[in-house]
Every structure is written in C-alpha cells, then in structure tokens.
Chain A
Amino acid sequence: MMLAPRMRPVIAAVAGVVVFAWIVGQQDLWVRALSALFPGSVRPVYPAATVAELTLQHLRLVGISSGLTLLVGIPLGIWVTRPSGADFREIVSASVDFGQTFPPVAVLALMMPILGFGLWPAVVALFLYGMFPVVSNTVAGLEAVPGTLIDAARGMGMGRGRILLAVELPLAARVIMAGVRTSVVINIGTATVAAAVGAGGLGDPIIGGINVQNMAYVLQGATAAALLAIVADGLLAGAERLLTPRGLEA
C-alpha cells in the first residue's frame, strides 16, 4: 500500500519503454507515416539502416559516454567535497563548466586528428559535455547535507566512509539523480551530432537528410531521438523517485 505512490512513475516509465521499443521495431509504421507526411518524396525513409538499428547505435553511444560521465563525474564530485580534494574544487568546477560551454562539435573537430573517425571521438566529446550537471549536482547535493547531521554521525562514532555511505549519499541522492537525468537527456540529443564523425546513431538520417536535402530523413531521426529522450527522462525520473529516501518525501 505504502509502495504504490512511489511505484507509479516507475510503472509508467517501464510502460513507456515498452511502447517505445515497439514503435522503433515497426519499420513499416515509419514507412507509412513518413510516406503520408511527405507524399511527394520518392524515398521518405532513410535507407541505410532501420530505425531499430539506428536506435541501438544511438543507445550504445549514449550508454558508453554517459556511463563514463557517471563513473568519473560522481566520484569527482564526492572527492572535491572531501578535505583531500577541497583544494581542487575550484579547478574542477571551472573545468566542467568549460566542458559544457565548449561546443561538442568543436570537440569532435579537435578529437579527430587524435582519435580519427568513428565511435571514440564522439564518446570523448559527449563524455566531457555531460560532466557539468553530474559534478555540480553531486557537489550541491552533498553540500546541502546539514553540518549538524554529519556532526551527530561523527559524535556517534561513524567513520568518514560510513558517514558518506549511510548519511551523505542517501540524503544527496535525489539531487545527484536530477543531475544524472539532465546529463543523460542532454546527451541523447547532443549525440546526434556524433554522426558527423561517423559514429552512427539517430544523427545519421538527420545529417544524411541535410546533405541530400531530404527533410523526411531529418524528421525521422529527430522524432526517434526525441522519443528516446522522453522515455529516458521518464525512466530516470522514476529512478530518482525510488532513490529518494521515504523520510524525505513531502
């Protein structure tokens, strides 16, 4: 009974994923819809790959880059709020800030001479671009934990690691998850530019469509990417809700 309100967004998100997977899998549906929207077009659907294939490529790109962002960003945010990392706090904030203001297309261009074409320059660009919300929310979440609670925890004999795991992270979880959500959702959209360096994904029909002046391709890629972003947002919102400790719910 108590679980129901918490589970509702999660159930909705899972339903969203199922519907999305179904839509993506129906290549016929895309052909029919795009043909109807672009009646004059000879080829209204991107021919090189199915929507399902493009979506999987996109997911791989986002999965690897966002995975790395979380793997590096959360520990980095934790570290700069510890005494040992406090000195690096400003540098880290400035760098992740810069990482986000710097256009990912420019990062791609700069990475090409080093990493060449393909997946990896795109991963690096997206990884850097997504850091800001993760690091800054991790720092903000940890910093919002009242000093009196840490003091109480210390006074009861908890060590630093224990305080982090049992007090700070649970209390910061909601804010950290909000950063993760922002980062991933932005990444899904931004990852479409990765097609420019041949990383594939839903950017392929968009960039291909621009090149051959076929707006149907552009609409196809953009719609799929937008749906993916909405579904991912819902899923992460559900996770955010689940990770919020009960005692903090309004």
Chain B
Amino acid sequence: MITLRDVTKSYGEVTAVDRVSFEVPSGEVCVLIGPSGCGKTTTLRMINRLIEPTSGTIEIDGRDIMDSRPEELRRHIGYVIQSVGLFPHLTVAENVATVPKLLGWERRRYEPKALELLEIVGLPPAEYAEKYPRQLSGGQAQRVGVARALAADPPLLLMDEPFGAVDPLTRERLQAEFARIQRELRKTVIFVTHDVDEAIKLADRIALMRAGRLEQYDTPETLLDHPASKFVHDFMGSDRALKRLGRACVADVMRTDVESTTDGTRAIPREACTDSRFVYLTDESGVLEGWVDCRVLDAGTPPEDAGTPVDWREAAVHPETTLKDALSRMLGFGFRNVAVVDAQGRLVGEVSLAAIEATMADADTHIANLEEGEVLGALPDEEARS
C-alpha cells in the first residue's frame, strides 16, 4: 500500500504538485492522469525519491520513504520511463538483469529470472535475450522496459507513460498484455498516462490531476458516473456510454455457438448460414484460418471461391479485448462481426456490433437513471457503482 499525505513540490514560484493525498491499496493499479504539466511525473518521481517533496509524507506499507537510502528504496521499486531508457551497450538479457545485479544476486539466480521475464512479456528468450536494444522495434523495447522493471520482483511498480511511444495497435496489445501480467502478478502499480481510454481500461482507480491538484480519486466507473466537477466530466469525455465500453470485454458479450468447419469451403452446408452470417474456417486444432460470408454464397458464388483466408493475429480479437477496441476493429475491417480467438489463435466465438450496441444501450439506461438520481439526490453510491 502506498500513502501520499499532503505531498507538495514547489520549484520557486511554481507549485508542480500541490497538497496531493491519496492511497493505493496493495495489488491495485492506480492511473495518474491529467493534462500536460499537471504534475503526474513529479508525483510519480517523488515516490522513488528521484524528486524530494517540499513537504508532505509518502509511505510504502506504512514506512516513510525518507527512512530508506534512495538507492536502496529504488532497487525495490520497479520503474518504467516513457523513453524506455534501455542501455544500448547491454544485451536485452543484461538490461533485464540490471537491478538483480545491483542487489547482488548471483548469476545462476538472475539469469533464469531474466529469461523467464522475457517469456512473460512475450519475447521468446531464445530469440531476444542476446539481442541489443538497437535491434528491437519500439514495442519490443517497451516490453523489455517492463521486464526490466519486474526483474527483482518488486511489490511496487511506477510506470510513466510506458506505452506512449508506439502505434495504436501495438499499444492496444501491450495494454492487454499488461492487464494479463497484472492479473497474475498483482503488483501495486502507479501508472501515468494522458490517454483517458488507457486509464479506463487499466485502472482500478484513477487519480485525475489538474494544475498540481488532485481533482478526483475514484474508480473509473465513479469518475464516469459521478464526475466531481465539470473539469472531470469534460476530461473523461462526454459520451460516457462509449467510454464505458473500455471497461467491458469481449468475453462478456460474445456468442460461442458459431459455425465453423475444418473441411474447407466445399463442405459448408447451406443450413449453416441460417442464423449466422459467417462460417469460420479452422485447421484441425481449431486455429482460425478464414471465413465464408454467407451473403456471398447466397449471391451464387460457388463455395470453393467464397472463402476469405485471414491471419488470426490481425483479423480477430481476444476474449479480454475491450469492447471499445473490438468496435474499432469492426470499423477498421468494415464488418459487423469479428471472430474471437484465444492466445493460440483457436476460434472461441464471435462478437457482433449488435451485442456491443446492446451494452451501450444498457449503459445509456444506467446513465439516464443516474442523472435522474442525481437530480433527486436520492441514488445511493453503492447502487450507482454496480
């Protein structure tokens, strides 16, 4: 658990952080968000004493951080900076092993640990361990940055716009992987971003800052449903129903009774097209290889020409993909349905635009109820959150 109490940082006249207090329970992800220059980085860097607060106290598990030597403190806090900052003269594995080495681990302990972490962040060690940072893409470098921060198994992780410098698709993938890793490792994370969608997707709690002050600290749902000020409301975005799609995932609304065949297009029976627009083509182990659009069949195209081969890595979503990302994929492909596959590419279902719309309609009703409740001032907080 991390506790900030009235933490202030002034640079002469400028107050970068102004009496900020909040508490992050162990194992939760707190996202610090706000406009540029509002004090996010400063707040984050005070926690590992890269910046000394002007006043106020910061405690980690009840211990004042001022009681530890800064170097010692930092070795037990994972830190990911926006620019990644991999050491170009060290291999990927050596980069990951930096903190364990500082802590005096022996080689036979830090080496397997580094390889294990590369595996966790999705970089097969056989291929990547001996590479140098200049041989990596932006997204791969970000992964190594995360692996490096996790190497000594710190209970606390500070991440400053860790996925800032990559393209949207890679970003979405990194976010999904971060969410997966976090579900497993349960670190206490403070994550800086200025992307509202990223915050909604990843946060257990959001700390929204403005000009050095903490505007609101709450769950994403509460920020969306009960913004404490017009600033919060505007910052979170006006279409709250749309934003909430970032909290729901494909697994919640997908249908699993999809038609699929391993025999190629020839064997598709007409009946397969009765209540589904697509029939999916898979290999023996169920890995998605393509689909047949039944409308094309109806239009008289012979079945053997009707199949569209696809690469599941690009054309499908995963059960843990957010509905928001699934929606943007549909728009991207120009289909109202998108296949859902597991991590190995095996078909598990399909999600439709209609299902997403239904979720939004629910959210609209929910928000309408809330607004009514707000007017009456009668809606208890608990109910609003559910």
Contacts and interface: CB of A to CB of B under 8 A. Distances in A.
Interface stretch (A91-99, A106-114, A147-155): A147-155
Nearest to A250: B134
Interface string A135-173: 000000000001011011111111100100001001100
Nearest to A158: B102
Contacts of A155: 48, 50, 74, 79, 81
A171 B91 CA distance: 14
Contacts of B81: 148, 151-152, 155
Given A156-B79, A247-B90, A149 B85 contact: yes
A67 interface: no
A204 B354 CA distance: 95
B72 interface: yes
A82 interface: no
Interface string B337-373: 0000000000000000000000000000000000000
A244 B229 CA distance: 56
A152 B133 CA distance: 14
A171 B88 contact: yes
Chain A residues touching B, majority SS:
helix
Nearest to B75: A157
Contacts of A162: 102
Nearest to B78: A156
B79 A247 contact: no
B333 interface: no
Contacts of B148: 156
Contacts of B71: 157-159
Nearest to B102: A157
B22 interface: no
Contacts of A71: none
Contacts of B182: none
B85 A247 contact: no
A245 B134 CA distance: 12
B74 A247 contact: no
A247 B89 contact: yes
B87 A246 contact: no
Contacts of A248: 88-89, 134
Contacts of A170: 89
A154 B50 contact: yes
Contacts of B48: 155
Contacts of B87: 149, 152-153, 167, 247
Interface string B79-117: 101011111111100000011001000000000000000
B178 interface: no
Residue among A152, A158, A159 with the highest chain B CB neighbour number at 10 A: A152
B235 interface: no
Contacts, number: 64
Q: Give the bracket for the number of chain B residues in contact with chain A.
A: 20 to 34
Contacts of A154: 50, 74
A149 B83 CA distance: 9
Contact of B89 (A151, A156, A245): A245
A138 B133 CA distance: 24
A101 B91 CA distance: 43
A153 B85 CA distance: 8
Query: Which of the listed residues A146, A148, A171 has the most CB atoms from chain B within 10 Å of its own CB?
Result: A148
Contact of B85 (A148, A157, A159, A245): A148
A174 to B, nearest CB: 10
Given A155-B74, A155-B81, A246 B102 contact: no
B77 to A, nearest CB: 8
Interface in B20-47: none
Contacts of A153: 85, 87
Contacts of A245: 88-90
A247 B90 CA distance: 6
Given A151-B85, A157-B102, A247 B75 contact: no
A156 B88 contact: no
Given A151-B81, A151-B85, A247-B134, A157 B74 contact: yes
B133 A247 contact: yes
A148 B50 CA distance: 13
B367 to A, nearest CB: 41
Contacts of B90: 245, 247
A64 to B, nearest CB: 32
Contacts of A246: 89, 132
A229 to B, nearest CB: 30
A156 B98 contact: yes
Contacts of A148: 81, 83, 85
Interface of B: 48, 50, 70-75, 79, 81, 83-91, 98-99, 102, 132-134, 148
Given A151-B85, A157-B102, A171-B88, 12 more contacts: A148-B81, A148-B83, A152-B79, A152-B81, A155-B48, A156-B102, A157-B71, A157-B73, A157-B75, A171-B89, A245-B90, A247-B132
7 contacts: A151-B50, A152-B81, A152-B86, A247-B90, A247-B134, A248-B88, A248-B134
5 nearest interchain CB pairs? A152-B85, A245-B89, A157-B75, A247-B132, A157-B74
